[in-house]
Amino acid sequence: MSLLEELIRSIDEIKKAASEEIGNVASISDLEKLRVTYLGRKAELNLILRQLKELSPEERKIVGEKANAVKKELEEKIREKESQLSHTKEKKEIVDFSLPGKKYYVSSEHPIQKLINEICEFFIGLGYEVVSGPEAEIDYYNFTALNIPPYHPARSMHDTLYLSESTLFELEGTEDELREATRKIALLRTHTSPVQIRTMLRKKPPLFIVAPGRCYRRDVPDATHSPVFHQIEGLAVAEGISFSDLKGTLELFLRNLFSQNARVRFRASYFPFTEPSAEVDVSCIICGGDGCRVCKDTGWLEVLGAGMVHPNVLEEVGYDSEKYTGFAFGMGVERLAMLKYGIPDIRLFFENNLKFLEQF
Amino acid sequence: MKVLYSWLKEYVDIDIQPEILAERLNYAGISVESIEKIVPSFKGVITAKILEVKPHPNAEKLQIALIDSGKGTIEVVCGAKNIAPGQIVPFAPEGSTLKNGEIRLEARKIRGFLSRGMLCSEAELELGDDESGILILSEEISGDIPIGVPLEEALGIKSDYLFEFELPSNRPDAFSVVGIAREVAALFNSKAKFPDFHLTENGPQIGDIVKVEVEDENLCPRYTAKAVLGVINKRSPFWMRWRLLHSGIRPISAIVDVTNYVMLETGQPLHAFDLRFVKDGKIIVRASGKDEKITTLDGVLRTLREGMLLIADSEKPIALAGIMGAENSEVKEDTTDVIIESAHFDSKSIMRTSRILGLNTEASTRFEKKVDPEGTVFAAKRAAYLMRDICGGNVAKGEVDIYKKKAGQVQINVRHNRIEKLVGMEFSKEFVKRTFENLGFKVEEINEGYRLTVPTFRPDIEREIDAIEEIARIYGYDRIESTLPSNNHIGGYEEDLKVLRDIRERALRLGFTEVITNPLLGSKIVEISGFSGREEEKLVKVVNPLSNDLSILSPRLALNLIYVIRNNFTRSVRNVRIFELGRVFKNSDGILPEEKTVFAAAVCGNSLEKQWWGGPLNADLYDLKGLAESVFGAENLEFNPLDSDASFDGINLNFLEGDKSAIITSKGRPVGYLGAVKSEVLRALDIDIQVYVMEIIPEILKSSILESKKYQPVPLYPAIVYDFSFIIPDEILYSDIRDAIISLNLKYLESVEVFDVYKGKGIEKGKKSMAIRLVFRSPDRTLEESEVRDSFEAAMSIVKEKFGADIRRADVS
């Protein structure tokens, strides 16, 4: 038998065997194996084609065309079989979409931290740096440096938890001696304002900071009071900062936090560390200002305390109060979260019931 | 403070809707908490004159009154004994109602006598609490009272509003009706008026009656006294009682009521002494000696500390200065001669005494805020006038007025452009000047602005900024425009917070829920956790805790998480996977305790529930180890089994099972711990499931978090992967195997990883089966299996030879 005849016979045999096997194959993976066997790089058909150089040009043409035709035919058959197989498979295997999806343990954020981050991010956008300070604080930073010297009436507004015996009321001494004595009294900070002092002592103006953190007061726990709570303090000190700037900043902030349509109002108030001081209200987010139980029929919700930094405070940290002016503001995070999410009781935040937390 | 609108209007000419007034006052910082419309609870009650009183024919205790109701005479039955002909009284005729309609009057027979209505007591009309007899209007109201007119008209209480103010603590002047009137005047460009009266003094010279000695003029810069002799201390008139009641002060007797009334009116606290009990009429203002005792008006015997300010006579203390009088000199029903004290006491001294004794009164809260030192004489005269007017008697001529330490006059300069710069808008000079004047300042225009003379009743105005606030506040914050400051800083988190933020995000991604706990713990958890003896000294305690349950600052955040698990347990939530970033506290040598931010996590129950496709997966120590490794990088952490009496960060770990716990180190430095909580600790908290906890101090590891990410080439060529399993003694650790293989320094070895550990059925006791996967890869070409086959064999050999492993299977995949 000539090489030509031999090759042609081989091609016919391959075709026969392959067609038969393709016809019998029952799964896509087996079909895939056949594809490799008959059409792959090491497949017989390809080996045949490599022997073409030993034939005359005419013979080469005959064998080449035949081999390629068989190759095409087999490819077609495999394709057909493939679609046939995938079709029958659909009929055989049933996916029960009524079964529940896999349930994994999904984590939740604590609503207080979530809100703190949201608020901080807003101020970061305005160019503020987020800073922190200790929760156990000295009286001097918590009160004295904030223009609340010993014997200041405002000290009674904060029911303070002390870590060292406060003997201020028993000390005899000059005003300066008493002020110095407050550096030696440890307490749990009653607000985040001492972070203002600590930051101003280590940085020079201009200064734009927000300080979130935990605070403590000697409050009996009830639906709206908790001995531990969170505040966010803001402070901006630079040349030429005015009360108008404070208004603009907080209006923008509150509209961002509550709603574009929220109205904001500033009322005069008194804080020892700011002057002029203001309480800031936002139109009731429940009733829109018409009056409801949440706003006690006033249409307004008190959400912030703010004011221009008192020159005594600036001078206490060695800033030039003629050159620099600034504003400060502080807010209770729990109160904001209660309003924002409609949470009725502040104690829920610290109970950490997972059924509560998983809602956030 | 609560004030009736009608009272306020006596001192300032305004006629504004109460809601509008409240709004303006709110903006100006005089917060109006509420406005209550005052409406009598009776309807149709009129004035009537008693013409005749005669006994009831059938009842000894009742009388018949014949009255003139303005529209003829009527007979009514009356049980009260205090009625007499000629009196004018409240009469509730047929058809009138009492107590908001609860009682409707009808003609009815009382013991056989037809009564057409009734005469009313103060209590029945809900005008006060006196129910002892009929309210005799002719004794309460001076001047002619018309007959047959509505009672509310006759009493002058027809239509009124009660304002409740929340006043700023730096405004002692506002704690008075006159003070609020002054604010109203400034807001509406009007002027406030002081109470107008003419005092007749026709008694003896004051010096013959009272002598005052002030021992410490620093504690008592001013002491003014007046005397009224021969008074009859009866009930104060209706109008005064009405106002006091609505201001929240219980009427007692005319003399006492007058002192309270004038305090509310002017802001100056007053005290009245009965001259009988002041020995020799001599008042000494002095500091108390050690352990001096006084029984105050509330009936409490108080032992004083040295240096508390007292009012005494030559024998005994008769009042706790500025806070409360003593029982021994109290004004009584039969008091005839009264000394009125109107003093100025040092605010700090009052505050100190009040705090130490825990005694707050209307007087002490005012003195603490610094009352007007120039207001004493006016208030004393006003009180003398009212006492004489109500109780008769004679006012002694003149007053004692010891005023050695005169209040200095405060003058400040206010620059007009500073006002504008600080507020951020322009003001007219005319508005600024007028506003200061309406608030009681003397204003002199100077070059750059104004020279103000600050009234003595405004101790809060000390420097320019205080005056600027007055302008902003009276102008109204609502009218100030809004701008944004120019700020070219780039915002962001400071480094430590950035670390915490990243830890938090990674923990959340791993399915741990964030909690926030109260750091204040009770002594119970601390006790059951094994902090006793010397450990206890390290705990930071609150010296004035609200309760024992909130007295210790947490030394271990894990304890707080155990509490969270307990809270959830009581609500049948048993699968818990939580973390917290919080602070822990430990006593230090310094003033402040050592305070550290820690990352704590806890798990219990299942980390995956049994479901139709698989599970359950028990939560265990490896959940926490995995958390730590994912957050801080496995290469940065080592886990070392606990020693018998191990501690972390100077505090013991007695609450953990020693053999199921480890100290976490990083390059040999302790950074945290993890472990199983002891069952007795859990039992004490009624938790019946194993709880695992972990705590890590991120500070030491922060570089691993802050490390800036650098690109690593992604593997391009396929790996050759070998798996082999073997049986080894249980005490051989995975790390022994891993380290042994790594020590071979096999070429192309990319990783060694355990993927199965099994003990139990089918495996001999004391042994375990382990399966290891080795991955070989070349960074620049496809490896042939033959190139690494020897390395794999070498790895298997060392495991076999070094640890006596019995190789079960080996595959290349």
Domain tally for chain A? 2
| A70 shares its domain with A145 | no
Q: Is the pLDDT of residue A169 over 70?
A: no
Note whether B610 contacts A: Cβ–Cβ < 8 A. Answer: no
The answer to the question of residue A99 being in a domain is no
Please state, rounded to an integer, the average pLDDT across all residues of chain B. Answer: 93
Note whether A144 contacts B: Cβ–Cβ < 8 A. Answer: no
Chain B partners within 8 Å of A170 (Cβ): 305, 352, 356
Residue A69, min C-alpha distance to chain B (Å): 35
Q: For residue A231, what are the β-bridge partners?
A: A213, A332
The answer to the question of residue A79 being in a domain is yes
Its pTM stands at 0.83
| A11 shares its domain with A130 | no
pLDDT band at A167 (very low <50, low <70, confident <90, very high): low
Chain A partners within 8 Å of B24 (Cβ): none
pLDDT digits (tens, 9 = 90+) for A109-151: 999 999 999 999 999 999 999 999 999 999 999 999 999 988 7
The answer to the question of residue A102 being in a domain is no
Q: Which of B305, B423, B512 sits opposite A243 (nearest CB)?
A: B423
Query: Which candidate in B356, B483, B572, B579 is best for mutational testing of the A interface (most A CBs within 10 A)?
Result: B483
The answer to the question of residue A105 being in a domain is no
Query: Which candidate in A95, A104, A105, A263 is best for mutational testing of the B interface (most B CBs within 10 A)?
Result: A105
| A77 shares its domain with A217 | no
Q: Label residue A66 exposed, middle or buried (CB < 10 Å: 0-12, 13-18, 19+).
A: middle
Chain B partners within 8 Å of A265 (Cβ): 27, 477-478
pLDDT digits (tens, 9 = 90+) for B218-242: 999 999 999 999 999 999 999 999 9
B505-526 residues labelled b (16+ CB within 10 A) or e (exposed): ebbbebbbbbbbbbbbbebebb
| A77 shares its domain with A7 | yes
Out of A92, A120, A139, a domain closes at A92
Q: Is the pLDDT of residue A41 over 80?
A: no
pLDDT band at A170 (very low <50, low <70, confident <90, very high): low
The answer to the question of residue A306 being in a domain is yes
Q: Strand runs (DSSP E) across B291-431, as ranges? A: 293-295, 301-303, 309-312, 317-320, 324-325, 338-344, 394-395, 400-402, 410-415
Give SS3 for A182. Answer: helix
Q: Is the pLDDT of residue A168 over 70?
A: no
Domain of A36?
Answer: 3-92
Q: Is the pLDDT of residue B802 over 90?
A: yes
pLDDT reported for residue A171: 66
Out of A44, A60, A92, a domain closes at A92
pLDDT digits (tens, 9 = 90+) for B360-416: 999 999 998 889 999 999 999 999 999 999 999 999 999 999 998 787 889 999 999
Give SS3 for B61. Answer: coil
| A83 shares its domain with A161 | no
Q: Strand runs (DSSP E) across chain A, as ranges? A: 129-130, 136-138, 186-188, 207-216, 228-239, 264-271, 274-283, 300-309, 324-332
More confident of the two residues B520 and A12: B520
Residue A18 — φ and ψ, nearest 5°?
-65, -45
Q: Is the pLDDT of residue A88 over 80?
A: no
Residues 6+ apart with CB under 8 A from A97: none
| A264 shares its domain with A336 | yes
Unique residue bearing structure tokens 């008190």: A302
Note whether A251 contacts B: Cβ–Cβ < 8 A. Answer: yes
* Separation between Cα atoms, residue B156 and residue B137, nearest integer Å: 12
- In chain A, which residue's Cα lies nearest the Cα of B506? A107
Note whether B593 contacts A: Cβ–Cβ < 8 A. Answer: yes
pLDDT band at B140 (very low <50, low <70, confident <90, very high): confident
| A84 shares its domain with A123 | no
Q: Is the pLDDT of residue B645 over 80?
A: no
Q: Which range is least confidently modeled, A58-62, B27-31, B350-354, B454-458?
A: A58-62
pLDDT reported for residue A293: 84
DSSP characters over B481-550: --------PPPEE-HHHHHHHHHHHHHHHTTPEE----SEE-HHHHHHTT--GGGGGGSEE-SS-SSGGG
pLDDT digits (tens, 9 = 90+) for B57-87: 888 889 999 999 888 899 999 988 899 999 9
Chain B partners within 8 Å of A151 (Cβ): 347-348, 351-352
Q: Which of B468, B482, B512 sits opposite A248 (nearest CB)?
A: B482
Q: Is the pLDDT of residue B554 over 90?
A: yes
Residue B776 — φ and ψ, nearest 5°?
-110, 140
Residues 6+ apart with CB under 8 A from A323: A239
CATH code of the domain containing A311 = 3.30.930.10
pLDDT digits (tens, 9 = 90+) for B320-340: 999 999 999 999 999 999 999
Q: Which of B483, B492, B612 sits opposite A129 (nearest CB)?
A: B492
Note whether A272 contacts B: Cβ–Cβ < 8 A. Answer: yes
Chain B partners within 8 Å of A120 (Cβ): 493
Q: Is the pLDDT of residue A86 over 80?
A: no
Chain A partners within 8 Å of B592 (Cβ): 134, 136-138, 163, 186
H helix intervals, B198-247:
238-246
The answer to the question of residue A319 being in a domain is yes
Query: For the residues B633-639, what does the mean pLDDT come to?
Result: 93
pLDDT band at A89 (very low <50, low <70, confident <90, very high): low
More confident of the two residues A284 and B383: B383
| A209 shares its domain with A82 | no
| A132 shares its domain with A70 | no
CB contact under 8 A, A110 and B516: yes
ipTM passes above 0.95: no
| A120 shares its domain with A268 | yes
CB contact under 8 A, A276 and B473: yes
Out of A32, A63, A92, a domain closes at A92
Which H helix or E strand runs over B169? none
Q: Which range is least confidently modeled, A18-22, A39-43, B231-235?
A: A39-43
| A202 shares its domain with A55 | no
Listed by number, the residues of chain A in 66-105 with a beta carbon closer than 8 Å to a beta carbon of chain B are 99-100, 102-105
The answer to the question of residue A334 being in a domain is yes
The answer to the question of residue A101 being in a domain is no
Torsion of CA B386, B390, B391, B392, to 10 degrees: 80
* Whether A291 contacts A297, CB under 8 Å: yes
Comparing CA positions, the residue from A44, A39, A33 lying closest to residue A10 is A44
| A128 shares its domain with A26 | no
* Separation between Cα atoms, residue A309 and residue A313, nearest integer Å: 7
More confident of the two residues A158 and A161: A161
Q: Is the pLDDT of residue A90 over 60?
A: no
pLDDT reported for residue B144: 86
* Separation between Cα atoms, residue B229 and residue B209, nearest integer Å: 10
Chain A partners within 8 Å of B466 (Cβ): 275
Residue A298, min C-alpha distance to chain B (Å): 10
Chain A partners within 8 Å of B573 (Cβ): 353-355
Query: For the residues B94-123, what does the mean pLDDT come to?
Result: 91
Note whether A127 contacts B: Cβ–Cβ < 8 A. Answer: yes
CB contact under 8 A, B511 and A105: yes
Q: Is the pLDDT of residue B758 over 90?
A: yes
